[in-house]
Amino acid sequence: MLFSLRITIPDRPGTLGSVATAFGKGGANILTLDVVDNQSGVAVDDLLVEAPEGMQRALQIATQMVPGLVVEEVRPVEAFRDHMSSLELAAALSEAQQQKCVLNTLVERLPEALRSDWCVVLTAGKPDVSVIGSSLGAPSLADVRSSWLPIEGARRLPPASWMPPSWTAGPAARDGLGKFELAAAPVFDTSTVALIGRRKGPQYRQSELVEFGLLTRITSSSQSAIQLYPAS
pLDDT score at 176:
45
Integer Cα distance of 171 and 179 in angstroms: 10
Of the two residues 203 and 85, the one the predictor is more confident about is 203
Residue spans of the domains in the chain: they are: 2-77, 86-228
Closest CA to 192 of 143, 152, 136: 152
Q: Is 80 exceeded by the pLDDT of residue 185?
A: yes
- CATH architecture assigned to 2-77: 2-Layer Sandwich (3.30)
pLDDT in tens, 3-59: 999 999 999 999 999 999 999 999 999 999 999 998 889 999 999 999 998 999 999
pLDDT score at 84:
67
pLDDT score at 12:
92
pLDDT range class, residue 101, cuts 50, 70, 90 = confident
Q: Is 90 exceeded by the pLDDT of residue 173?
A: no
Q: Is 80 exceeded by the pLDDT of residue 227?
A: no
Neighbours of 17 (CB within 10 A): 10
Cis-peptide into 127, omega within 30 deg:
yes
> Please, what is the average pLDDT of the chain?
86
- CATH architecture assigned to 86-228: 2-Layer Sandwich (3.30)
